[in-house]
Amino acid sequence: MDGLTPTEVQDIERANGSGRQVVVFVHGLWLLSSSWDRWRSLFEDAGYATIAPGWPDDPASVTEARQNPDVFARKMVGQVTDHYLEAIARLRTRPAVVGHSFGGLIAQRIAGTGASAATVAIDPAPFRGVLPLPVSSLRSAAAVLGNPANVGRAVALTFEQFRYGWANALSEEEARELYEEFHVAASGVPLFQAAAANLNPFTEVKVDVHHPERGPLLLVSGAEDTTVPWAITHASYVRQKRNPGLTEIVEIPGRGHSLTIDSGWREVARTALGFIGTHAPAASGNTVPEAGGTHR
């Protein structure tokens, strides 16, 4: 059965009709697809068509999400990945894929099927085989993992939890603005899936890092991220770098987990756009902005 919403189908049809290279944006926990709106405008101004499907059954707005938070419960990594693959299967050509946090994990899972022309994973959640467990990551995840009953629940962060795990590199004023504008509840089960991934050979939280058609991959790490610190992103890079496709990693100084939505989002977006512009170019004649961050 088709699980795409009418809005998602309309976006796909518009992208197909444009004749442009398509970029698919994948959001993570505690956000909605609308968190990509500014990115989509930037990429479309650079000559791309974009789509940003939600996770299955995502509400249409932050207001609706806060009125009915239980709708987020029990969404699992495999189900969400399949939803994005369903959207991609309707596109006429292989898209580029950009994901953040658990969306970064899902973006790598998509790339591991050969469905992506180029992929950018920003502060991606870890997958099976990624071993580091920094103390700051455990503290960030404790809001969910601290109560086993959360595996079947939708969980919202308090402002203090959001400030530590997302907005630690920002002023309190900006942190509160982001919390009010973007934060919604999230499914608890993906965090439990990720926590158990290295103990469960049948986990959904795994990536085919050897797929010969994975394509170019850029991993982006916010240098101040407490939720997905450099150690996790770099370990993902080590797992990916033996793939025949190009694998790169870049660190963005002074940035936390909120780097896709905070006041510095444009630097990160231009880094992603620069990589995609090289490996999945838009129509000729469009300029690609200079990438930021420190490549390693």
DSSP assignment letter at 253: T
203 domain residue, yes or no? yes
DSSP code for 95: P
pLDDT at position 292, please? 53
Position 188 in a domain? yes
Q: What is the pLDDT of residues 142-166, one digit of tens each?
A: 999 999 999 999 999 999 999 999 9
- The number of distinct structural domains making up the chain is 1
Q: Quick one: pLDDT at residue 102?
A: 98
Which segments in the chain show pLDDT lower than 70? 1-2, 284-296
Q: What is the pTM of this model?
A: 0.94
Cβ atoms < 10 Å from Cβ of 242: 9
Q: Check residue 58 and give its pLDDT.
A: 97
* pLDDT value of position 133: 87
Q: How deeply is 177 buried, as exposed, middle or buried, from its count of CB atoms within 10 A (0-12, 13-18, 19+)?
A: middle
Q: What is the pLDDT of residue 286?
A: 37
The owner of tokens 């899936």 is: 193
CA within 13 Å, CB half, 162: 26
Neighbours of 127 (CB within 10 A): 27
Q: Is residue 143 part of a domain?
A: yes
- Position 1 in a domain: no
Alpha carbon 10 to its chain's center:
22
Domain at 185, CATH number: 3.40.50.1820
Tell me the residue range of the domain where 95 lies.
Answer: 6-295
